């Protein structure tokens, strides 16, 4: 996980990743979906440059 992520972002990433894996996604795909979700949320909150 990127160093710029907060503890909240890391928790969200792990939650989304495990949820996606439970739905039958591969680990690689689950990680991608989770990272995109966290980055989308960070952008929405204005914590990243766009």
The answer to whether residues 46 and 20 touch, using CB atoms and an 8 Å cutoff, is no
Residue-range definition of the domain harbouring residue 20:
7-41
Of 1, 24, 25, nearest in space to 11 by CA: 1
The count of domains in the chain is: 1
In the chain, how many H helices and how many E strands? 2, 0
Has residue 22 been placed in a domain? yes
Has residue 1 been placed in a domain? no
* Tens-digit pLDDT profile for residues 28-48: 999 999 999 999 999 999 998
The C-alpha atoms of residue 40 and residue 43 are separated, in whole angstroms, by 5
The C-alpha atoms of residue 13 and residue 21 are separated, in whole angstroms, by 12
pLDDT for 2 equals 67
Has residue 18 been placed in a domain? yes
Has residue 26 been placed in a domain? yes
16: tokens are 């989304």
Q: 0.85 exceeded by the pTM?
A: yes
Has residue 21 been placed in a domain? yes
Has residue 16 been placed in a domain? yes
């Amino acid at each position: 996980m990127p160093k710029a992520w907060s503890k909240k972002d890391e928790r969200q990433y792990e939650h989304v990743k495990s949820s996606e894996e439970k739905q039958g996604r591969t680990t690689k795909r689950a990680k991608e979906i989770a990272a995109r979700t966290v980055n989308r949320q960070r952008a929405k909150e204005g914590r990243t440059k766009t």
